[in-house]
Structure 1
Amino acid sequence: MSDRQHTFARLRIDPDRPDPRKLAPAVDALRRGEVIIYPTDTGYAFGCALSSSKGISELRRLKGIHAKHQKPLTMMVENLNDMGRYGVMSNTAFRVVRRLLPGPYTIVLKATSDVPRAMKNRAQEVGMRLPDHKVSTMLVEHLGEPLLTGSVTPGEDTPELEDPQELESRYAREIALMIDAGHIWPEPSTVLRFDVSGDIEVLRAGQGRFLETPT
């Protein structure tokens, strides 16, 4: 993002009792197609509206995930109905997902036609999250559509990106707004891939517990 005529805002939010009115500038930025940083149950993340091709392109740049990359992009959804709308979910997958969510899991499914082409990986998959986090949930609800999301992962030279001040120093020229919910130590989600038959593959073991042979 160019810093020409660029402004940056930092919203301080109580993560336990977020005020919906304080999230209004973040929702407005997302509706303009901007990328923001916001808190989740697994750390801070970049986010943009699913309907924004400009936002998707910018988020890909920030994450270094090019089109047709093997890794799918992920969206935050409001409920399980949305997950079924954007991903092909077998009965087995639905039973497992219903038991696990909301929580620190990323569910990888074959994408439906409702998923923008710019979001899919080369295997035509999409990741979805339904977090157990009040700010994330409220943000998606007020936006009225899924939120494309990607964790802000620290590099070797930035070991403390759980600190909002460090995030601002690093990204203020590249994003529109940051929702500051205090220090959040990043703990990655558990990533589960479901194929169309319901078979499950653990792509990454994270903070979410998962039994490999769920019933």
Structure 2
Amino acid sequence: MLVYIDAERPAPRKLQPVIDALRRDQVVIYPTDTGYAFGGALSSAKAISRLRKLKGINPKHPKPLTMLVNDIADIGRYAHMGTSLYRLMKRLLPGPYTLVLRATSDTPRAMYNRNHEVGIRIPDSPVCRMLVDLLGEPLLTGSVTPAEEQFDLEEPEMLEHRFSRDVAVVIHAGPLWPDPSTVLKCTDDEIEVLRQGQGELPF
């Protein structure tokens, strides 16, 4: 199912079928500031399992899953952060960054790795913000195009055809070029760059 929206001015009523699917533990495809992504409700164990399968991530793999939230206060609920990290977030977010942080007990166990690390993003995207608002909880996320693959233009119609058996809804916001986020590991005193993406390094 394709749902057509204006990426800059999304209408809540047009996103309702997406929200309904998310609340039924289903996976959707939606546009972000880094390309199209798989999404599910953070509270849905089924959606987390399905997203892992789509991404080919084994539960024992050291790579944690990532969630989207709308503000830094929400990050504080799901991950540990100190004063210096808070100041860094104020500089970088919203934007094309994924922060790998130490998860709190509010984060589902299936989201983090053996080191209790979880990825968190606040993307610069009206669609993402509205989805999180309407859903009433964070949105788990994973890019449709792996960062290590050669980039091809992501066409919503092609994504719907390719993943018709795996996702309930594809939000159509036009073709997008996937452009991965910069991934920063912030679990210790120092910041480690795990991947240089479109976000400029903060140092």
TM-score by length of 1: 0.90
Indicate the residue corresponding to 2:201 in structure 1: 210
> What is the one-letter code of the residue matched to 1:33?
D
Indicate the residue corresponding to 1:4 in structure 2: none
Task: Work out the CA distance in 1 between the residues paired with 2:139 and 2:4.
Answer: 20
Task: Work out the CA distance in 2 between the residues paired with 1:188 and 1:75.
Answer: 15
Residue-pair matches, total:
203
> What is the one-letter code of the residue matched to 2:88?
V
Where do 1:88-167 residues align within 5 Å? 88-153=80-145, 160=152, 162-167=154-159
Give the Å deviation of 1:123.
1.3
Give the Å deviation of 1:69.
1.1
In structure 1, the gaps of 5 or more residues are: 1-8
Task: Work out the CA distance in 1 between the residues paired with 2:142 and 2:12.
Answer: 23
Structure label with greater radius of gyration: 1
Equivalent of residue 175 in structure 1, options 167, 180, 186: 167
Give the Å deviation of 1:169.
1.4
Equivalent of residue 70 in structure 1, options 59, 62, 74: 62
Q: Indicate the larger mover: 153-162 or 103-112.
A: 153-162
Q: Could you say what secondary structure the match of 2:115 adopts? A: coil
Give the Å deviation of 1:177.
0.6
Task: Work out the CA distance in 1 between the residues paired with 2:146 and 2:58.
Answer: 19
Give the Å deviation of 1:22.
0.3
Task: Work out the CA distance in 2 between the residues paired with 1:73 and 1:209.
Answer: 22
- The verdict on how the C-alpha distance between 1:96 and 1:154 changes in structure 2, with shifts beyond 3 A counting, is closer
> What is the one-letter code of the residue matched to 1:111?
A
Task: Work out the CA distance in 1 between the residues paired with 2:21 and 2:150.
Answer: 26
Indicate the residue corresponding to 1:199 in structure 2: 190
TM-score by length of 2: 0.95
> 2:83 matched to 1:83?
no
> What is the one-letter code of the residue matched to 1:82?
D
- The verdict on how the C-alpha distance between 1:105 and 1:58 changes in structure 2, with shifts beyond 3 A counting, is same
> What is the one-letter code of the residue matched to 2:193?
V
Indicate the residue corresponding to 2:17 in structure 1: 25
In structure 2, the gaps of 5 or more residues are: none
Q: Deviations over 1:188-210 (max 9, x none)?
A: 000011124x3211110000112
